[in-house]
Amino acid sequence: MTPEDLKARIADDGVEFIYAMFVEMHGKPCAKLVPVTAIDDLLEVGAGFAGFAAGPLSQDPSDPDILAIPDPDSYTQLPWQPNVAAMQCDPTVEGESWPYAPRVILKRAAALAAGQNLVLKAGAEAEYSLLHRNEDGSLRPADERDTSELPCYDARGLTAVLDHLTTVSRHMDAMGWGNYANDHEDANGQFEQNFQYADALTTADRLIVLRLMMHTLARRDGLYATFMPKPFADKTGNGLHTHLSLWTADSDEPLFHDDDDPRGLGLSEMAYHFTGGILDHAQGLTGIVCPTVNSFKRIGVGPPDSGATWAPSYVAYGGNNRTQMIRIPEGGRLEVRVPDGSANPYLALAALLGSGLDGVARGLDPGDPNTDNLFALPLDEIRRRGITALPPTLLHAMDALVADDTLRATLGTGRDGDYVDYFAAVKRAEFRSVNDQVSPAEIDRYLTLM
Ligand SMILES: [Mg+2]
């Protein structure tokens, strides 16, 4: 879109203000509200930010401004406040793209793939919980009658929050995302609203707008929307199942489909190599796609009240089998089930792309698909077969991340060193900060134990 096209579109839409947006490491949506009368300056110079104040961007208070340059292709009128449009920006410092900005990192990874005539397309299932906060600070589902042990797909649960769900659906369509399904998920108060896949950058941009929309609508209703991986210990967590496929950049041909797949999953050899790469880098990758202390309460733990976590514990792939880390729901794409709602979508998609392409480059074979129910297979049997477990904590995942040279190269380097080292330093501090707290569960366990 040229600047003239953009201005015509803004005038057509009756938009008065632009959110000039970017995210830092955690995916916090940072923005300046810019009146459209200042659009020329915004497009040429960018919106200025003190990077240190925004969040982890490897900036300190003495650094010059981050100037966030909007990407016209990301222009999205926000249907819930139609006089405002969002534009996702690429942060720059002194005229150069800032290598610690997640959107810059994904664009770099996508450009490397484009150099091999490849485009990653991605779809994401952003599960979230819609909650009411009680006066004592505790949380309950938005619908106070949503207490069943098996609330998944319950039409009554959908009906109770129909206004919210249908509003989100209409907004998704107004933004051109193509909403195609909405459901009550496996935990009380948990929902998922699906939209069509797109190239990785577009999907990542949409996830940022989606989260902003959910927070905004929930707040208007006096509720909280949360994407945190595990808001309740006894309920299923919020995943960000990510569907991936490679396509040719020049002719938009799908590369992951093969009807003659001898393993019967409808995947091409390239898709198997890509799968092999994601499995090979699973330990370090988990640190990027499950990036919080809370993430590790969703994966690799026992079942919640509903009977199954629906989150993987082991590094394995299978066909249409939701107990696997990678599921092949149908020919032509992979579903990676590790990522959770706390993942930064730009970093997650960059890391998945880098891992998969490494598998393609090395011709990795993931072996035959696993057909077991991995939620039920005894631990002894899992060990006997040599199936490895995902990392048990954020600290373990950070150790694996900094040891992974492919992810190190994929996420890039900047003034202060490699992004993985910066990421790990921030996340190790986060682990310590959370772990230093004495929880009620510790008091219950230890107060009179000895
Ligand atoms: Mg789901």
> What's the CA gap between 40 and 18, in Å, rounded?
12
Which residues, in sequence order, are CB contacts of 426 under 8 Å at separation 6+? 25, 56
- Give strand ranges (E) for 61-202: 66-70, 76-77, 84-93, 96-97, 118-126, 128-133, 139-141, 179-184, 190-195, 198-199
CA 173–ligand 1 middle distance (angstroms): 20
d(CA 450, CA 170): 58
According to the model, what pLDDT value does residue 28 have?
98
Q: Can you read off the two tokens belonging to residue 173? A: 């369509």
What's the gap in Å between 68 CA and the centre of ligand 1? Answer: 34
Measured in Å, residue 125 CA sits from the centre of ligand 1 at 6
pLDDT score, position 309: 84
- What residue spans of 70-152 are helical by DSSP H? 102-114
**How far is ligand 1, taken at its centre, from the CA of residue 141, in Å?**
17
Q: Cα(221) to centroid of ligand 1, in Å?
A: 24
Grouping H, G, I as helix, E, B as strand and the rest as coil, residue 21 is: strand
Ligand 1 centre and the CA of 397: distance in Å? 24
Give 353 Cα–ligand 1 centroid separation in angstroms. Answer: 22
For residue 18, how far is its CA from the centre of ligand 1 (angstroms)? 32
**What is the Å distance from ligand 1's center to 259 Cα?**
27
Confidence (pLDDT) at 286: 98
Q: Could you give the CA distance from residue 172 to residue 178 in angstroms, rounded to a whole number?
A: 6
Q: What is the pLDDT of residue 425?
A: 98
pLDDT of amino acid 308: 83
What spacing in Å lies between the alpha carbon of 317 and ligand 1's midpoint? 18
Measured CA to CA, the distance from residue 100 to residue 58 in angstroms comes to: 6
Residue stretches of the chain with pLDDT short of 50: none
127 Cα–ligand 1 center, Å: 6
Output Rg (C-alpha) for the chain, integer angstroms.
Answer: 22
11 Cα–ligand 1 center, Å:
38
- Separation CA 424–CA 434 (nearest Å): 15
Note whether 423 and 288 are within 8 A (CB): yes
For residue 54, what are the CA distances in angstroms to 114, 389, 416?
A: 31, 35, 18
Ligand 1 geometric centre to CA of 390 (Å): 20
| Cβ atoms of residues 119 and 246 within 8 Å | yes
Q: Report angle CA 306, 239, 437 to the nearest 5 degrees.
A: 85
Strands (E), 53-112: 66-70, 76-77, 84-93, 96-97
Whole-prediction pTM = 0.97
pLDDT at 1: 86
The CATH topology of domain 3-94 is: Ubiquitin-like (UB roll) (3.10.20)
How far apart are the CA of 192 and the centre of ligand 1, in A? 6
Contact 140, 132 (CB under 8 A): yes
Q: Within a 10 A sphere around the Cβ of 224, how many other Cβ atoms?
A: 20
CA–centroid distance, residue 311 to ligand 1 (Å): 10
- pLDDT score of 430: 98
What separation in Å is there between the alpha carbon of 194 and the centre of ligand 1?
9
CA–CA dist 317, 279 (Å, integer): 8
Task: Identify which of 271, 288, 267, 277 has the alpha carbon closest to the alpha carbon of residue 362.
Answer: 277
Structural contact between residues 103 and 90, judged by C-beta atoms closer than 8 angstroms: yes
CA of 187 to the centre of ligand 1 (A): 10
Ligand 1 center–CA 158 separation, angstroms: 14
**How far apart are the CA of 351 and the centre of ligand 1, in A?**
22
The domain limits of the chain are: 3-94, 110-445
pLDDT for the residue numbered 304 = 81
Written as six digits, the tokens of 434 are 């959370």
In angstroms, the CA 317 to CA 325 distance is 6
What is the architecture of the domain spanning 110-445? 2-Layer Sandwich (3.30)
Pairing of strands 326-327, 317-318: parallel
